[in-house]
Structure 1
Amino acid sequence: MSRMADLRFRVGFAIAFAVAFATSDSMCISDEVAFVPALERFARHNQVDSFDVGRLLITELGCTHCHLSDAEMLAPKAAPSLSGVGLRLNASWVRDYVARPHDVHPGTTMPDMLGELNAQQRENIANDIAAFLATQRQDFPEIKASGTTPVVFEFWKRGRIPEGQSLYHTVGCIACHEPDANFRVSGSPRSSIDEIIDQLDDDELEDLGLADAARPYPSVPHSNLAAKYTLQGLTFFLLEPDRYHPGSRMPNLKLTPEEAADLASYLIDSHKDREKGDAESRNNSVSADVASGRQAMQQFRCLACHRVGGLRLEHAASELPRLDQLRHDEPAGCLHVGNAEGVSYSLDDFQCDAIVSAIASTDTNLDMTRADHLQHRLMQLNCFACHVRDELGGIGRGRKDFFHSVGDIDLGDEGRLPPPLTGAGRKIKPGWLTKVLTGNKADIRPHMRIRMPRFHSDLVSDLTQWLVEVDGPRELPLTVADDSKPAKREVIEAGRELMDIGCIQCHSFDGFAMPGVVGVDLVGIADRVNRDWFMAFLRDPASLKQRTRMPNFFAAGKTQNSELLGGNPDRQIAAMWAYLQDVPKHSLPQKLQESRSQSYELVPDDRPILLRTFMDTAGTHAIAVGNPQGIHYAFDAEQVRLSTAWRGKFLDAQGTWFVRFAPPAVPLGSQLIDFPIGNVFAAMDDGVEIGHDVFAVSAQQPRFDGYRLDADGIPTFLYRVGEISVEDRTVAAKDDASLQRTWRLSVPKHTSRRIAFSPLAGVNVEDIGDDRFVNEAGLQAKIHGLSAVDATITSGPIPAADDHQRVHFLIQVTSPMTLRVDYSW
């Protein structure tokens, strides 16, 4: 058969096959079809070719696990590992999922393998398989603590729901998944494009080519996580997704153990409304025949995709038709509900048509270009959820407001959203690109809350090569001085001087920066960026990066400094590159040196000074308060507690203002005292014994609501404990060298709430009379308005270190009331 005749045959077959599917009454069409992000976002709106869509579906549905193909692009997505699944997943969920996968997890790409069975047979087989998988138990890996990452005992039980909710909406989860409608988010600076889109109707958007940018797109659906996972199982999955699902499109977001526990607690809590009762109290066992379940794994070809306990499929995949042979079959098989094998996917006409088209042209997959391979892999990994490449993808308009820069500094979209991938292979050196994709210490944007995830090397091993081949080095649009040989000292000095024309206003150098600068550090840029791209970018930034805030210092081919290197822009740019190739060995830019030489000790003369910084005891949300009386303190806004106090000098702000990666700020004074861990308040309910009464601590954590300053500059910290509003004010008293701390409590009108008040804690707490208590560190608390007779010294109920004691007062708040404690040491 001639090539043209063969082509006509294939096209005709594809059309006939598609028509047959479209008219078949038994074709699987569902409102909850198998969900593949790139298909839903781009293919249904004709932004990608139908052949590309079909190839993507073939890999994401795992077709070539059974129907072999020589096309490298059609390698199937690896299925989750079932080794150790008995400790990760609830057996009752596994049973239900095996029996009815598309009902239990709408959008799943797993096929229904039991289609040929009646309802009772389905239930029996699913019970057996779930019972067998429940026996697959494997200890979770030991998570070792490091100097920067402490690991609390049984950390997965200590997750904090509010912190998990915040993580879910900031680090990148909602780039793919649905945001919580109840999560409060403040607006972010809008780009000019977003402003235009807000003012146009659908027809105008279409005419201007902005319809794709304006269109919302569906989210990757969660299964019922409260029913599916044990709390420990979800926590460890979030820590290392590829350990348990080698082909998972869920990337590793570089969570700490504490963050993974917080996120798992939030996700399970947010799905509990789908379940009756707590997920941890679910019946995690099923009564069935384990041996029959093991046999069913073979019989129903579960092992074609999954690996468990060393089992292998006894009937090789080669016994089934190869993928390219399927185009000669009748319209039946896995896409057809009533097929003899009983295997069916939840697909609609559009998806079936795309698969049929791809199968009909399957031999052309052997000659795909690198650009085809590249786009295919980017769609597989859903890189387009965050990144734009050639006008395709990026964070959607409805999700942008969730992403902020650290400290909410206005750096535009460049400071809060992931960078574009357009031309990335031309810009980024292969070695660095590999580090970025595999998460190998390549985070250079500490000002962004959203995180560049880490992918398993097997999934991204080819991406670096493909990006370089597709984007490739291009002919440099200007002639530059040759700096391939060691640059002369005067050239490097000229490059250093040119840094002062604007670079230091946005970038740091080896960790040193001007006040307020949070941009990318230029140290190591020669290891990250190709020289030719750097030259072209400085000559015309907007030509390589649309809507960049990088100014053009060489507009119209002219320089701002006509004296250096003869005023030649090309030579000046080359000199800047020569300087940046080894910044640590060269002197810092002059203006930066001058800034560093100044003294930045903060001295509160006539009113308090507030400095938001990092501190060892107060963490990354520290608010340090310096008082003219010479008694200072730090408040931890994340844990909502007074953390440290000291006397003498206050703080040096140089590290906070100039050194992005500086160590935590250290008080300059002396006589430091650390306050007990935990907030002094906890909302109470019935259940736990304290003295002669029985109460229980509310699970709600204190919620920080900011602070206000009075006319004297003294801050009052605002937070909530359950429904109780707290105004927390601390004043330095010079006469007796103490801190006078006052709390004003209030509740909604016509309500009454019980609260536990614990103003002091320690390994050992003693009552020393006159309504005073002292701990082993020498911190004394003088109680005003409450009698020590009413106090109980015991452990709990407010979380503290093991074996610590706390002074407890139980208070009924019915109307605004004030408490006061004087602290001295």
Structure 2
Amino acid sequence: MSRMKKSCRGFAWIAVTIAVVSFRIVSIADEVAFVSAVERFARHDQIDQVEAGRLLITELSCTKCHRSDDAMLVSKGGPSLRNSGRRLNPSWVRDYVADPSRVHPGTTMPDVLGELTSQQRETVAGNIAAFLANQQQDFPDIKATGAVPVPFEFWNRGNVEAGRTLYHSVGCVACHEPAADFEVTGSARSAVDLMIDQLDAAELEDLGLSAAARPVPSVPHSNLAAKYTVRGLTFFLLDPDRDRPGGRMPNLKLTAVEAADLASYLMNRQAVESDSVNNQDASGDAEAGRKAFERFGCIACHQVDGLPNDLAASDTPILTELRRETFAGCLQEEYSKGPAYLLDDFQRGAIVSALASIATQTPVATADKLQHRLMQLNCYACHVRDELGGVGRRRKDYFHSVGEIDLGDEGRLPPPLTGAGRKIKPAWFAKILAGNNADIRPHMTIRMPKFHADQVADLPIWIAGVDGRRKLPYTVAVDSKPPSNEVIEAGRELMDIGCIQCHSFDGFSMPGVVGVELSGVAGRVNRDWFTAFLHDPSSLKSRTRMPNFFADGKTQNTELLGGDPDRQIAAMWAYLQGVPKHSLPQKIQQARSQTYELVPDDRPILLRTFMDIAGTHAIAVGNPQGVHYAFDAEQVRLADGWRGKFLDAQGTWFIRFAPPANPLGTESIEFPAGNVFVEIDSKADANSCDFTATAAQHRFGGYRVDPDGVPTFLYRVGSIAIEEEIVALKDGSLQRTWRFQPDPDSSHRIAFSPLAGRTVKQIGGNRFVSDKGLTVQIDRLPAGAATITAEQDQTSDDQQRVVYLIDITSATKLEVNYSW
């Protein structure tokens, strides 16, 4: 690849595109200036060269020097440096100014000192660093509220592990490289992703899946530990707009504690690299640095106290006057009379193509403006629109639903933007982008960020205008009069047919329900889209799990409103317009007002709650057979079982600081602490196995529910994937079935301990009983293969333990029956 430095008079900024972190620099286009959409789409012909050039012009801030009245070409600019003395380490600033691309490969910061000798460069960089070290604007005062505490000097109290979890869950890895050593439990993969794994390059091309299979390039980053003070990075993460009003890093709506945790993780994870940053204290002449800051054009892109944020550009041609037939002027390969960017021939060619297009002054279509803005803000890192973009295939495992409930991709990945302007009302879209109480997907761990108002002000109108021309199969006549009480009541009744199984209403829901909040939906979506979606969900949302309650134009309730689907959908809309003014759906009301006891009459009931034994990540399962249990999803173990009544859900549903939920039944049993399995090496014996939860390092992966309502828990033990099903039997016992799926082409040995207690006795074959009266019958293992081990710690409740050593070479099934 051809590499060159491209210069442009007056281009300069000190630190650009500071987002979260990439722990390893991915080699993209030989580490030239990185612009996400250019690397992901333009280099693979998914967007044309003109659009790629327009993006480069804005992201390299060309119009800060080469003026343009084109609103589409407003430059990103650089960060404000008014607080750089408190945010940034002077030694990093000095080294970065002296050689931007070496300190931050992929940077869009130009080399502003190209005309100087090496000695002069070092001196001037030190002077500029000294000048910026005197920019000492105060940090803002962060106020605490009753719900969001702000500890004293919170930036010094960050928790590395909490920050590590945040980084890999709230959305940072949509743009930035995940940590190589972070172990993630993947959710169930879609059919398309599974198919991609089986296809070669030619087959992917033929099926149009090359883009979906291609790795997504990560936004590169410099060494944050060398660059920032801890306080500086914490406050940047808390409010990126303050330091970077034109930047592309969105606000993830972190609390002060979360920002400190994330900063602590990033600073801890990235050690200063001695070959890229000189950590000696920076020294220089601050007054000479002030003059250099102005002389070398830094004021074009940066705000500092004491200097104007402008560049006298009388000798710089405006954008439309630039030569565009060749790589002339600042696009010359050997041009050295001004700042220089690291670009390749593809990027330079794209800029020339864009300049030629701009010179024609051809009006740009709204659809092109919309795509351009979405690419500038890297919205395509999370969202698919018209088959372009979306979360990278290898990054989807970092996106989860809260509690690991299997809701499919639409329950964990950001929603598509295809046709979004036809669906979403502009006023609601504006609230989403501004982060103004518009979070309706609390079941997702990823957060919808908020953006600087100037960057997104046009998006709601643009997307409504572009998508408004897309026809829907159903249209709705405007009501000439308000709906009657009869219609509203019919709509409320229809909610009980299917809506309450997946959605909440004004914060209230049925047990275990996690889904989009329906109150306020009439203020969020257009009515004709709502009507069309209910008539045929999959026609508007590919692979949705939303059931079709009006398949083939027929309703499931032929009694209400004459069995007319259109009248019923209109009634549902009328009802939802008034929630919470209208009464809640009847079944939810009954759950709230009549009884809080959960009674599993005909199928199991699942409730995520807090319990004394199963802990804060308890999954309680009530069974019609009258024998129930609680699974601890944190320590990945069956915690306790009981017979009789199941649970009282009042505290879980309605009391914010309720005590732990306790079983209502009797005949309870506490299962042994620790895990049932641990992966061991081939030389380990039964007495050396450690089954404590911390030692076993199990990783919970959620659960799925079969058509009968029976859950299967998904987790891993070391490198082995395990599915566990617990079934209540009519005789009051529990049958646990494990299915093992080891990594292919390898064998594994596990230690299996189905029972432990102060004493454990063998009462025939593979049948054992503990001192608590818990009895196990193990199937599918040879009799006499067990060892009863003795614990040396006399204070332990589990001094004796039944242990089997099992070699797992292929898919394996194991069954155990528990009775008490």
TM-score range, shorter chain: 0.7 to 0.9
In structure 2, C-alpha distance between the alignment counterparts of 1:377 and 1:38, rounded to whole Å? 11
- TM superposition shift of 1:599: 3.0
- TM superposition shift of 1:650: 12
In structure 2, C-alpha distance between the alignment counterparts of 1:232 and 1:481, rounded to whole Å? 57
- TM superposition shift of 1:551: 1.2
The equivalences for 1:605-644 within 5 A come to: 612-613=608-609, 621=616
Check 1:68–1:201 CA distance in 2 against 1; reply closer, same or farther (3 A cut). same
Match of 1:810 in 2: none
- TM superposition shift of 1:594: 3.1
Q: Secondary structure at the match of 1:514?
A: coil
Check 1:536–1:635 CA distance in 2 against 1; reply closer, same or farther (3 A cut). closer
* Residue 712 (structure 1) aligned with residue 684 (structure 2): no
Which of 654, 664, 668 does residue 657 from structure 2 map onto? 664
The equivalences for 1:802-817 within 5 A come to: 817=793
Contact 2:649 2:661 in 1 (8 A): no
In structure 1, C-alpha distance between the alignment counterparts of 2:361 and 2:130, rounded to whole Å? 41
Kindly provide the CA deviation profile for residues 127-166 of structure 1, in whole angstroms up to 9, marking residues without a partner as x. 0000000011122111111111111111111111111111
Which of 377, 395, 402 does residue 399 from structure 1 map onto? 395
The equivalences for 1:647-796 within 5 A come to: 652-656=648-652, 658=653, 663-666=656-659, 712-714=669-671, 716=673
Check 1:581–1:655 CA distance in 2 against 1; reply closer, same or farther (3 A cut). farther
Match of 2:682 in 1: none
Unaligned runs of 5+ in 1: 1-21, 604-608, 627-633, 641-648, 670-709, 729-814
Match of 1:435 in 2: 431
- TM superposition shift of 1:405: 0.4
Kindly provide the CA deviation profile for residues 548-593 of structure 1, in whole angstroms up to 9, marking residues without a partner as x. 1111111111111222222211111111101110022222222333
Q: Secondary structure at the match of 1:347?
A: strand
The equivalences for 1:120-269 within 5 A come to: 120-269=119-268
In structure 1, C-alpha distance between the alignment counterparts of 2:267 and 2:675, rounded to whole Å? 29
Match of 1:49 in 2: 48
- TM superposition shift of 1:611: 7.5
- TM superposition shift of 1:49: 1.2
In structure 2, C-alpha distance between the alignment counterparts of 1:637 and 1:540, rounded to whole Å? 36
Match of 1:354 in 2: 350
Contact 2:3 2:342 in 1 (8 A): no
Contact 1:30 1:346 in 2 (8 A): no
Kindly provide the CA deviation profile for residues 62-112 of structure 1, in whole angstroms up to 9, marking residues without a partner as x. 000000112111110031000010110100000000000011001111111
> Which amino acid in structure 1 is aligned with residue 372 of structure 2?
H
Match of 1:759 in 2: none
Check 1:291–1:620 CA distance in 2 against 1; reply closer, same or farther (3 A cut). farther
In structure 2, C-alpha distance between the alignment counterparts of 1:590 and 1:72, rounded to whole Å? 53
Match of 2:555 in 1: 559
In structure 1, C-alpha distance between the alignment counterparts of 2:287 and 2:544, rounded to whole Å? 62
> Which amino acid in structure 1 is aligned with residue 184 of structure 2?
V
Check 1:101–1:121 CA distance in 2 against 1; reply closer, same or farther (3 A cut). same
Unaligned runs of 5+ in 2: 8-27, 600-604, 622-629, 637-644, 679-689, 695-790, 798-820
Contact 2:412 2:445 in 1 (8 A): yes
- TM superposition shift of 1:370: 0.7
Contact 1:131 1:286 in 2 (8 A): yes
> Which amino acid in structure 2 is aligned with residue 395 of structure 1?
V
In structure 1, C-alpha distance between the alignment counterparts of 2:127 and 2:297, rounded to whole Å? 15
Check 1:358–1:211 CA distance in 2 against 1; reply closer, same or farther (3 A cut). same
Check 1:491–1:610 CA distance in 2 against 1; reply closer, same or farther (3 A cut). closer
Match of 1:511 in 2: 507
Q: Percent identity?
A: 65
Q: Secondary structure at the match of 1:334?
A: helix
> Which amino acid in structure 1 is aligned with residue 670 of structure 2?
G
Match of 2:115 in 1: 116
Check 1:23–1:236 CA distance in 2 against 1; reply closer, same or farther (3 A cut). closer
Check 1:285–1:365 CA distance in 2 against 1; reply closer, same or farther (3 A cut). farther
In structure 2, C-alpha distance between the alignment counterparts of 1:419 and 1:97, rounded to whole Å? 39
The equivalences for 1:235-634 within 5 A come to: 235-272=234-271, 274-275=273-274, 285-312=281-308, 316-327=312-323, 331-364=327-360, 367-472=363-468, 477-478=473-474, 480=476, 482-600=478-596, 612-613=608-609, 621=616
Match of 1:34 in 2: 33
Check 1:614–1:355 CA distance in 2 against 1; reply closer, same or farther (3 A cut). farther
> Which amino acid in structure 1 is aligned with residue 216 of structure 2?
Y
- TM superposition shift of 1:26: 7.3
Contact 1:514 1:595 in 2 (8 A): yes
Contact 2:608 2:619 in 1 (8 A): yes
Match of 2:733 in 1: none
> Aligned residues, how many?
646
In structure 2, C-alpha distance between the alignment counterparts of 1:153 and 1:717, rounded to whole Å? 38
Check 1:421–1:26 CA distance in 2 against 1; reply closer, same or farther (3 A cut). closer
Q: Secondary structure at the match of 2:305?
A: coil
Check 1:301–1:30 CA distance in 2 against 1; reply closer, same or farther (3 A cut). farther
- TM superposition shift of 1:344: 0.9
- TM superposition shift of 1:484: 4.6
In structure 2, C-alpha distance between the alignment counterparts of 1:596 and 1:715, rounded to whole Å? 35
In structure 1, C-alpha distance between the alignment counterparts of 2:614 and 2:455, rounded to whole Å? 36
Q: Secondary structure at the match of 1:346?
A: strand
Check 1:405–1:113 CA distance in 2 against 1; reply closer, same or farther (3 A cut). same
- TM superposition shift of 1:190: 0.8
In structure 1, C-alpha distance between the alignment counterparts of 2:83 and 2:398, rounded to whole Å? 36
Kindly provide the CA deviation profile for residues 678-737 of structure 1, in whole angstroms up to 9, marking residues without a partner as x. xxxxxxxxxxxxxxxxxxxxxxxxxxxxxxxx99324636899xxx99669xxxxxxxxx
Check 1:30–1:530 CA distance in 2 against 1; reply closer, same or farther (3 A cut). closer
Q: Which moved more, 1:26-35 or 1:381-390?
A: 26-35
In structure 1, C-alpha distance between the alignment counterparts of 2:613 and 2:82, rounded to whole Å? 42
Contact 2:89 2:229 in 1 (8 A): yes
In structure 2, C-alpha distance between the alignment counterparts of 1:436 and 1:26, rounded to whole Å? 40
> Which amino acid in structure 2 is aligned with residue 137 of structure 1?
Q
Q: Which moved more, 1:59-68 or 1:71-80?
A: 71-80
In structure 2, C-alpha distance between the alignment counterparts of 1:336 and 1:619, rounded to whole Å? 68
- TM superposition shift of 1:313: 5.9
> Which amino acid in structure 2 is aligned with residue 105 of structure 1?
H
> Which amino acid in structure 2 is aligned with residue 317 of structure 1?
A
- TM superposition shift of 1:654: 3.1
In structure 2, C-alpha distance between the alignment counterparts of 1:501 and 1:610, rounded to whole Å? 20
Contact 1:65 1:317 in 2 (8 A): no
- TM superposition shift of 1:475: 5.2
In structure 2, C-alpha distance between the alignment counterparts of 1:88 and 1:415, rounded to whole Å? 38
Contact 1:564 1:572 in 2 (8 A): yes
> Which amino acid in structure 1 is aligned with residue 125 of structure 2?
A
In structure 2, C-alpha distance between the alignment counterparts of 1:91 and 1:74, rounded to whole Å? 33
> Which amino acid in structure 2 is aligned with residue 52 of structure 1?
E
Check 1:533–1:818 CA distance in 2 against 1; reply closer, same or farther (3 A cut). farther
Kindly provide the CA deviation profile for residues 406-465 of structure 1, in whole angstroms up to 9, marking residues without a partner as x. 000010011100000111111111111111001011101000001100111111111111
In structure 1, C-alpha distance between the alignment counterparts of 2:608 and 2:2, rounded to whole Å? 66
- TM superposition shift of 1:664: 3.1
- TM superposition shift of 1:342: 2.8
Match of 1:5 in 2: none
Kindly provide the CA deviation profile for residues 21-54 of structure 1, in whole angstroms up to 9, marking residues without a partner as x. x999877997210001111111110001110000
Match of 2:774 in 1: none
In structure 1, C-alpha distance between the alignment counterparts of 2:244 and 2:631, rounded to whole Å? 42
